[in-house]
Structure 1
């Protein structure tokens, strides 16, 4: 049987690049290892790929396509980025059309940028188009907007922008002509279906490398203090303030210590409180750390607290699985999809008053139940093994074959 042949569109693509570039590279490597022949069209000028694409594995041809750039001249950054990307896609479409005339290709998969708003120019080329996994349908929960100190206006505007995708011609054209649009969370899947998408499976945004999965979960020792870790870029929608509320509430009943890893624009708004909680022994504020320090913190933690209020996915939660680290998460959007009840306490959204108490109750429950934490740690490792890049490639190839059988 002839191998599957696919063209992957990867504006961002690098072995050691940013998150989207790295995910593209992991898809390429895993699909090639499973026998798929790939032509990868990428943009070597993409800033998130600055480290270089890397050495392609067998069965992979890399094609660096770069387009002319336009002068900025006061154009707002979002609009400038979109125009630049559309110019690049126009050139890629011409390149792909030539390649399709030269040899048989089973399908085109537009991996990155995985943007519903930007759409894909690879429609109507006579070859089935797959898009995703992509986000873009997540909104900040309206019940929590009023607790944002400085960014409520932005989040309200962003919510309206997400709603407006129904009138976006690039999005509508892509969704209606793509053979399959893979969403990275249920909210994006619902949005895609609302503008005409019919084949819209849901798949997590990221995976883990098999070599990075630990053989045993993090130790759940008999220490009387429950050690939590919170890690993220400090932005208001990541809800560090809510995490600190939960820690203070839980500390009335059990001994806990929260290690905070991260930095960003929301740090000044939390600086005094972090300093106060650190002086009381409830928090260790380490800021941004290198990977060695991050690994040390993970290895010494009992539970991850991840309570972001808006997220397509969550790299920290994937890290938690490979460490065998139980988690407490808000049950919505990407984190709600990633986390399973076998290894995470999933907190339903309610309102800004009840949610910190719900998080605190979960912290207290885990602090008092070591055996449960041990079982959750083993379940987290099992989740990681089910979400390796090899397993994800097997699943995606199955989706490819089902799609082609229906054409």
Structure 2
């Protein structure tokens, strides 16, 4: 038996409490409209929200309704398959956008309670999002084909920009809240990509190789270069990446015991996440783990000529100092009391991380090394019959006194 939960929660400083249970109805009154692939608040009306059931409908809810059932209106028979994502227009609160498995996207007028426009694509729609304040009529969509497309809602026949960005399905896309030309996409190929749209096409400016397939990726509020992601499976971590140093997470949240399904930032320091473990967790950025501090700061490799190469982090001396300084602020569990210094010492050390490479060579006369080099120079591997190659290489090895190699060959 599947237990469906659809609740409105109030976030306190130290607790999370249920305020409304939208499924607190007799069992016979429940139907697929109470399921949901996605839920979105109206940005201008804190009493209205929309949900995307698995039956292809789009549902509006009004929390101000005096009845126990808060279901306000159902847009039925609009999509023939499940709706994956919804997006309210940030400046026109009565405009709602949907993206579906049936390869269509639709805009709805919530006042008239009807669909306004249909946009047809060539593949299943995984995510849709209206652009922020910079582009009045633009919205982005990503697809199972790995394509990322920019649409102008005034022109429904085709997208204005499109590019194949991923080798598998692209699961999510997100406009930068402050940088008008940047849009991010992520997908099953484990890649998070930041694109610039200002030159008339989608141009990749940053690429972050994640550890697993990425199902959700969003910008961290207040930080231009910080991207947050969670994986489709095999990982229960919410990772924060700095795209300028993409090969190790800037920070990670590890409170969940199962796959993280979604998350959002309340502000730059407070993250809310939910998971298949059934938990909704509120976490502070100041309490997040710092993977770079656990990374090995020294690398060692032996060369064939007997030398040794040593790579050593230049930040070993001040790493602990930066860590201690970063832990001195934000110790309060009250997010409103969080105060950040002008320069985050951990951020500074993270970005300015450099290493020194030193090579130690064996300067002594080494007969074995000289024989190895001579054999590698004189051996023949092709161009003659096999028995002639073997005979030639036997003579080369014997001539260098490597009789064990000659007899083995």
Normalized against structure 1, the TM-score is what? Answer: 0.28
Q: Considering only CA atoms, is the larger Rg found in Structure 1 or Structure 2?
A: 2
Q: Going by fraction, where is helix more abundant, 1 or 2?
A: 1
**Structure with larger RCO (C-alpha < 8 A, sep 6+):** 1
Normalized against structure 2, the TM-score is what? Answer: 0.28
Q: Going by fraction, where is strand more abundant, 1 or 2?
A: 2
